[in-house]
Structure 1
Amino acid sequence: MRRDVFQAIADPNRRAIINLLAGKKLTLNGVADQFNVSRPAISKHIKILTECGLITIKQQGRERYCEAQLDKLREVTDWAEQYRKFWTSKLDALGDFLDNDNELNNL
């Protein structure tokens, strides 16, 4: 199944995993230890995050370390930015309208 970044960040546990790994690399067990969910559930979340490129897993000796790849979140940022610009312009226009309306009412 092809996954995208939007699917990955839709789940609060996956967002928490990204936040956790944004500051440091952790082993798979180190990630699982931070949550009150089963290890198989964490493994599934890690798999989804890996499939969409938000984390990578690297073997170091006997351990497998997870590391965040935050540049993949650019897709979300770019998507949200278009709506931020749209709504900013609409709200600015509404503010101008209300300011003009208040000036007319005060005459």
Structure 2
Amino acid sequence: MKKQITADAIQQYAIASKDTAAIHLNVEAAVKAGYKRPVAHGMYIMGLAQSLYLTKHPSQWITTYHMKFQKPLLVDTVANFDFEVCDDHIHVNVAVESGDVIASGTFSVKER
């Protein structure tokens, strides 16, 4: 499932989470930190993965989750969330259009 990671969504998440670190919101700060542009919050990516999965599986409930981040996800990037079902676990990979995996993880789910 593809999702455009927008500056507006990151700004809204920053306000809601109270994580207003400049690398998420400010181009100059992100460039100074070594990125081409601001980066998405890791928790935003993880929460978005869960939300996208549950939208397609509304009868399920996530009981545990784990996600490992390999690379930053830059704002104004299309991310592909790929889910694989294995019994009561859901494996997720988050990749950018070049195919680079930026995060991967596992959810445990149960029926509501």
Superposition TM-score tier, normalisation by shorter sequence: under 0.3
TM-score normalised by the chain length of structure 1: 0.27
> Where is the strand percentage greater, Structure 1 or Structure 2?
2
TM-score normalised by the chain length of structure 2: 0.26
Larger Rg: 1
